[in-house]
Amino acid sequence: MNQATQQQDPADEEEPGIPPYELLGGETMVRSIVDRFYDLMELEPEFAELRAMHPPSMEGSRDKLFWFLSGWLGGPSLYIERFGHPRLRARHLPFAITSKERDQWITCMALAMQELGVAEDLRDRLLTSLYQTADWMRNTPG
Ligand code: HEM
């Protein structure tokens, strides 16, 4: 299994072409999506359970998700450069993730992308892949 498959790279199953990272507009847009994602998590009561699982300061969380998504979207592999293989499921085992947390994560990300004007077809494609990743992270019944 290659690295892209392990990360469920959304570019992996598509015809070779422009990576989603470029389609989105590169680093600035990816960082904006991550920042809006955590801002919404902080602000919106519907994401309260998800927020409560994170540390009081989410500055580190922001950087790590940005580094991860950069590579996952077909841009620079910033997370792997720093930490090696993401082992995302293992890294999430300390947190009890049910379908509720999965759905909060995806809804929060969908809202962030929508607010930032990501084109609907690209958004749908990315969210379908992210949903699979989030669903695979569930480790607790419910
Ligand atoms: C399924 C629902 C999810 C929940 C409840 C969740 C929750 C969390 C929490 C609480 C942390 C620790 C944050 C910190 O230490 O600052 C974390 C870290 C992280 N999450 Fe998630 N997450 C979910 C889904 C995802 C998805 C779908 C991705 C990627 C597409 C992702 C990527 C990451 C990354 C890269 C880290 C940092 C890992 C590290 O190096 O420590 N998460 N997540």
Residue 53 has pLDDT above 90, yes or no: yes
Pocket test for ligand 1, best of 8, 64, 78, 107 (most atoms within 8 A of CB): 64
Intra-chain end-to-end CA distance of the chain, in Å: 30
Please tell me the distance between residue 134's alpha carbon and the centre of ligand 1 in angstroms.
9
Identify the CA nearest to 24 among candidates 138, 83, 112, 133. Answer: 112
Please tell me the distance between residue 105's alpha carbon and the centre of ligand 1 in angstroms.
9
Cβ atoms of 34 and 69 within 8 Å: the answer is yes
Element of type H or E holding 17: none
Alpha carbon 62 to its chain centroid, in Å, reads 10
- Identify the band that residue 4 occupies on the pLDDT scale cut at 50, 70 and 90: very low
Please tell me the distance between residue 88's alpha carbon and the centre of ligand 1 in angstroms.
7
Q: Which atom of ligand 1 is nearest to the CA of 101?
A: 5
Averaged pLDDT score across all residues of the chain: 92
Q: Which residue has the tokens 């499921």?
A: 89
| The model's pTM | 0.91
Nearest CA to ligand 1 atom 33: 65
Q: Which residue has the tokens 């015809």?
A: 15
130 lines ligand 1 (CB under 6 A): yes
CA distances (Å), 78 to each of 31, 35, 50, 75, 121, in order?
Answer: 12, 17, 25, 9, 26
Nearest CA to ligand 1 atom 20: 65
Mean pLDDT value of segment 17-44: 97
